[in-house]
Chains A and B, each alone.
Chain A
Amino acid sequence: MSMRGKRCIKPGTTLVELMMVIILLTLILAALYKVSRATQQGAHEVMSNQVINDDVLRLVNKLTDDIRGSNFSDPNLPPTFDTEALANNFTVLDPNNQLMFTKVKFDFTKDPNSFAPDQVNYTQLRIVYTVKKMNPANATGPYALFRESLPFNDRRQALTADKTKFQLMNDLDSLVFYRLKNPKAPRSGNLFIHLRMTRQDKTGSNSEKYTVDVVTSVKERGGEPE
């Protein structure tokens, strides 16, 4: 009881005490600031990585959606490898590193008996993905992905005037398309996409770079018209 009384009637704080508090507070705030700063930097780092994750995800989704909705693909573009090891040696700049497939749109409103001899009840869109160096002067990447589409009319003639080509993505470290030999797989097997992309602030050391390396496979769902 008496101890409580002593503490309660203490008149104030000494200068030393005040300085101690200030020093401690300064130390604490400095430490907190550092932690906060580090956290912010970390968060920024992670968010930047997420951006590249998103970019890759969007690109993979675009490719897989495109392939899934197609009707048939070229059996030789991309090429087929016996093993994954051989596929890993397939280079970005190989002229066969292309993805070619065709989407078919049927028209059921026309009477097939009124067709000209060479007419069919569908039109086609041939799509080709190619990978090129962004700077032709460089020996290697970064690379850009192009999507070319060429429509065909209902006489299966190419409408070259309506051909389009645009750059879908740039700053790719690597993007290769291939198939793996799998006799048990239907058709020509799955189409594989191996994509690698590194964050753009490449000034940091290698250990600080963030690279997304994705291998995915997808299969066309539609069928070739007879």
Chain B
Amino acid sequence: MKSNNNAVISDGGITPKLLRKCSKTRSGLRGSATLIALGMGIVLLIVIAGVRSYTTYRVQNTIMESRNLKALAVAEAGLAFALSELSNNYDFQTHKVNSDPKLSWGAEQPTSQTLQADSNFSFSVRAATKGTYSGTLGDGEFKVRCGPIPYTDNRNTKNIDESKSFFKVDSMGKIGDTVRIVNAVIQRRYPGREFLMYDGGFLSLIYGTPGLNNVNKFSTGHLYGHLGIEIGRILTNKHVACPAGTDQELYDMDSIITGDGGIFLYNDIKTQFRPKNGQPLLDTFLKKNSDFPPNGTYPSGNEKFGEYPKELLEEKPEIIDPQNQLKDRMKDKGAHISIPPKPLPFETYKKQAMANGVYLKTTDCTEPYPVTPGWLPSGNSVKVRVLDFGTQLHSPQGITIPANFNGVIFADESLVIKGNPLRDVKIVSRKDVFVAGDFNQRGNPTLTSASGQNPERYGFPQNFNPNAFASEDYIDSQLLKDDLTAAYKRHQAATVIAHDRVVFDYRSPVDCFENELYPFMKYKLASVLRTKVRAKTEILLRSGSGGIDTDATDVPTVKNRIASFFEEFPLLPDSTDKTPETGLANEFANHYQTSGSNFPDADFDPLCMKVWKEFRERYKDEKMKSEDTAGTIGKFGVYKLLKSLRDEMRTSLTNLKPDDPQDFLYYPEMTTNGMFISGGKRNRTFYAGPDYIKVYDEIGSDETCVGAANVGLQHSARGEMIHRLYGSEIRLNLYDINRITKGSYNEPTRRKLYDESLPKMALDSGSADFAAFRYLTWQDFRATTAEFTNF
């Protein structure tokens, strides 16, 4: 029938008349056709409905699930964008957070956007001056609210300012009609302020020399190694067993943390933890938990240059803790306290320097600074700018501070820094920073004493009980640790940032030991004018007058006695021209002639300062004069003063006499105080593990410094001088830098101590501190489009 109908319709010659004629026949067949059609239709409908119902459900489910996942991804991306904004801008926020239990959102706050749109990822941020931060990513939209959680600083946690640490961040992601919201609490960490030592790679607390029994001490706060931490005494030399050497001890520790690795202890480590979370102060020995693999696997083939063996990078050794005392104090990768290193905002620093700071172009950094062989691919000096901030004993040099100085100094080349800045500073170099002497540790020149001399007249009072080797810290630690109270402030908030390396430079005794050498030199001058006993009473003891009454009976005697001082401590060791020394002797003689035998402090100190100034100025030309070819016995008076001072204070190399806090005899230490942040990857001779051959970024006082290097003579045997670093040492391990192929220093005995003022010092708007973030809590929920719209 159907084909007939089709035939009729397709004929082309059909007429109304013909249709009428056919109507009877067609109506006679309509019933069965309808039935068939209905039947087929019903069956088809059932089939279609079934299939459609199923496929729609499946498709909808799949689409929903896909949208849910995408919306969650967009919400998480929004969270990450907010963290990036926070990294770029300390002040970033969108809303206030109320201090109710739910931490509800308060008023909108002025906000900003620093992230740039990127069409490759369909990423854009909507411009807004206040309130919710929003934008698009791919085919999704995000909206983020972020604000600091009002909280009180916990006075018991010395390293963290909790009032500035926590943020509430809510981020919504929307795909089509599907909305997800992530609620998170973020903790902001300032590694430079909160960690005694931070390493973006593997933190190695292994310093020292085989066969020595000296101890390096690390005190206060947190240690962090992103890929792991190793601690131990010297046990190997180029991964071959050697006599055990220098040991390491930890004091006043809060936490030892690795973000993404394990904590390796190669021997029992004497450790003290401060009270924490209801657990009392803990004096213990951290038990050895690892042996360094002598035949480890080094995939990059850089066993000699700082590569850590696969066996360490892949392991997480168990912390031996039978009494469950260390769980809160030693946290490996399982704890998820991961603070990865991030690039530093050098352009921001530069802009700050160009605004109201000091910007030093390449042409401003032209002084050749000698370095040891292997430091550079060729040549033996780098172009630098020397910034000497001055001390109580010499004037600043090389820096002009502008009006309205914002504290930022930025150089396109390497910098050399020393002395005591007079205000908070951020010193940044696109290359290296050489810290070439005492830095940022002043005394109070105007302090008065009830009896006798100002105890800080020459610098910070470095008194210990019993002495500098046996003690990890000063007697008067409040002077060190409280820089927020004006009466105790001795340090500025100094941030030293090098793109490549922060190098501690031990070459110059006049810069490293000035505050120790000067009072001793003054005592020696007084000794020749009178007697040692009288000089000690008047000059070295605080109760003394600071001046000397000579027993010389005439001018030539005074002159000869001062000349005898220069014979012992020569200004020009190899020169027959004694004019400078004679000139100085004449000044003392002239004082005798005009004022008599009494050299009161007011007169004697300026005369001594003139002598010291001559020593400082002649150091550069006289520093290489040596009595032997190895450069181990310097002829220059400063080297001899240094040796004489040490002999005065000790009975053997590392056995010091008890320190007398009432005198001005200070054991020679190079003291540096600040946050020292370097970005370069480790690229020196450096054997992982408890190995002697670990060349850190240091220079000076070594046989490699002599000869063509012209760096300076060896003035201290291994372990003999102390390098005291207060503050924090941060190695980001981010940037590839040139390889230094040879050693360059005699290692000092090390003291690394945290400055508890750091969390609160100069943390203000635009400080651009290196910050890292971690999620404390994280929850995600579904939300409606209306909630998204109103967010």
Residues of A within 8 A of B (CB): 4, 7-8, 10, 12-13, 21, 25, 28-29, 32-33, 35-36, 39-40, 42-43, 46-47, 50, 54, 57, 65, 68-69, 71-72, 75, 104-109, 111-113, 116-120, 155-156, 181, 183, 186-188, 220-226
Asked if A40 contacts B43 (CB within 8 A), the reply is: no
Asked if A120 contacts B334 (CB within 8 A), the reply is: no
Asked if A223 contacts B278 (CB within 8 A), the reply is: no
Asked if B778 contacts A69 (CB within 8 A), the reply is: yes
Asked if B32 contacts A35 (CB within 8 A), the reply is: no
Asked if A36 contacts B314 (CB within 8 A), the reply is: no
Is residue B149 contacting chain A, with contact meaning CB distance below 8 A? yes
Chain B interface bracket (under 10, 10 to 19, 20 to 34, 35 or more): 35 or more
Closest to B8 in A: A4
Residue B278 contacts which of A8, A25, A109, A155 (CB distance < 8 angstroms)?
A: A155
Among A21, A155, A220, A221, residue most surrounded by chain B Cβ atoms (within 10 Å): A221
Asked if B21 contacts A8 (CB within 8 A), the reply is: yes
Question: Could you say which residues of chain B place their CB within 8 Å of the CB of A69?
Answer: 777-780
Alpha-carbon distance A32/B32, docked complex (angstroms)? 16
Is residue B152 contacting chain A, with contact meaning CB distance below 8 A? yes
Question: Could you say which residues of chain B place their CB within 8 Å of the CB of A109?
Answer: 99-101
Asked if B775 contacts A75 (CB within 8 A), the reply is: no
Asked if B47 contacts A35 (CB within 8 A), the reply is: yes
Beyond A29-B39, A112-B162, is A71–B776 a contact (Cβ under 8 Å)?
yes
Beyond A39-B47, A183-B313, is A118–B278 a contact (Cβ under 8 Å)?
yes
Alpha-carbon distance A222/B336, docked complex (angstroms)? 8
Within 8 A of A (CB), among B714-757: none
Asked if A113 contacts B152 (CB within 8 A), the reply is: yes
Asked if A112 contacts B152 (CB within 8 A), the reply is: yes
Question: Could you say which residues of chain A place their CB within 8 Å of the CB of B4?
Answer: 7
Beyond A29-B39, A32-B39, is A108–B776 a contact (Cβ under 8 Å)?
no
Asked if A40 contacts B28 (CB within 8 A), the reply is: no
Question: Could you say which residues of chain A place their CB within 8 Å of the CB of B153?
Answer: 112
Asked if B25 contacts A223 (CB within 8 A), the reply is: no
Alpha-carbon distance A8/B8, docked complex (angstroms)? 12
Nearest chain A CB to B710's CB is how many angstroms away?
46
30 CB < 8 A contacts A-B: A7-B4, A25-B39, A28-B39, A29-B39, A36-B43, A39-B46, A43-B53, A43-B54, A46-B54, A50-B57, A50-B58, A54-B61, A69-B778, A69-B779, A104-B776, A104-B777, A106-B777, A108-B103, A111-B152, A112-B154, A113-B154, A113-B155, A116-B278, A118-B277, A155-B278, A186-B259, A187-B334, A188-B333, A221-B778, A226-B328
Is residue B275 contacting chain A, with contact meaning CB distance below 8 A? yes
Is residue B457 contacting chain A, with contact meaning CB distance below 8 A? no
Closest to B315 in A: A183
Alpha-carbon distance A203/B28, docked complex (angstroms)? 52
Interface string of B327-363 (1 = CB under 8 A from A): 0100101111110000000000000000000000000
Alpha-carbon distance A112/B150, docked complex (angstroms)? 12
Closest to A74 in B: B334
Is residue B187 contacting chain A, with contact meaning CB distance below 8 A? yes
Closest to A110 in B: B152
Question: Could you say which residues of chain A place their CB within 8 Å of the CB of B776?
Answer: 71, 104, 106, 222-223, 225
Closest to A70 in B: B778
Nearest chain B CB to A188's CB is how many angstroms away?
5
Nearest chain B CB to A54's CB is how many angstroms away?
8
Question: Could you say which residues of chain A place their CB within 8 Å of the CB of B275?
Answer: 117
Closest to B777 in A: A222
The 5 A-B pairs of least Cβ separation, nearest first, read A118-B278, A183-B314, A221-B778, A112-B154, A43-B50
Question: Could you say which residues of chain B place their CB within 8 Å of the CB of A54?
Answer: 61
Alpha-carbon distance A39/B44, docked complex (angstroms)? 10
Nearest chain A CB to B53's CB is how many angstroms away?
7
Alpha-carbon distance A12/B25, docked complex (angstroms)? 8
Interface string of B27-68 (1 = CB under 8 A from A): 010001001100110010011001101100110010001000
Alpha-carbon distance A108/B153, docked complex (angstroms)? 11
Alpha-carbon distance A107/B21, docked complex (angstroms)? 92
Closest to A44 in B: B50
Is residue B687 contacting chain A, with contact meaning CB distance below 8 A? no
Is residue B774 contacting chain A, with contact meaning CB distance below 8 A? yes
Asked if B777 contacts A119 (CB within 8 A), the reply is: no
Asked if B32 contacts A226 (CB within 8 A), the reply is: no
Question: Could you say which residues of chain B place their CB within 8 Å of the CB of A75?
Answer: 334
Is residue B255 contacting chain A, with contact meaning CB distance below 8 A? yes
Question: Could you say which residues of chain A place their CB within 8 Å of the CB of B338?
Answer: 186-187, 223
Asked if A223 contacts B337 (CB within 8 A), the reply is: yes
Alpha-carbon distance A45/B311, docked complex (angstroms)? 53
Asked if A120 contacts B336 (CB within 8 A), the reply is: no
Alpha-carbon distance A59/B336, docked complex (angstroms)? 26
Closest to B68 in A: A61
Asked if B780 contacts A68 (CB within 8 A), the reply is: yes
Question: Could you say which residues of chain B place their CB within 8 Å of the CB of A28?
Answer: 36, 39-40
Is residue B151 contacting chain A, with contact meaning CB distance below 8 A? yes
Alpha-carbon distance A65/B777, docked complex (angstroms)? 13
Question: Could you say which residues of chain A place their CB within 8 Å of the CB of B9?
Answer: none
Beyond A222-B776, A223-B187, is A4–B334 a contact (Cβ under 8 Å)?
no
Nearest chain A CB to B70's CB is how many angstroms away?
15
Alpha-carbon distance A66/B534, docked complex (angstroms)? 78
Question: Could you say which residues of chain B place their CB within 8 Å of the CB of A29?
Answer: 39
Closest to B278 in A: A118
Closest to A10 in B: B25
Asked if A224 contacts B103 (CB within 8 A), the reply is: no
Alpha-carbon distance A120/B277, docked complex (angstroms)? 7
Residue A186 contacts which of B65, B152, B314, B333 (CB distance < 8 angstroms)?
A: B333
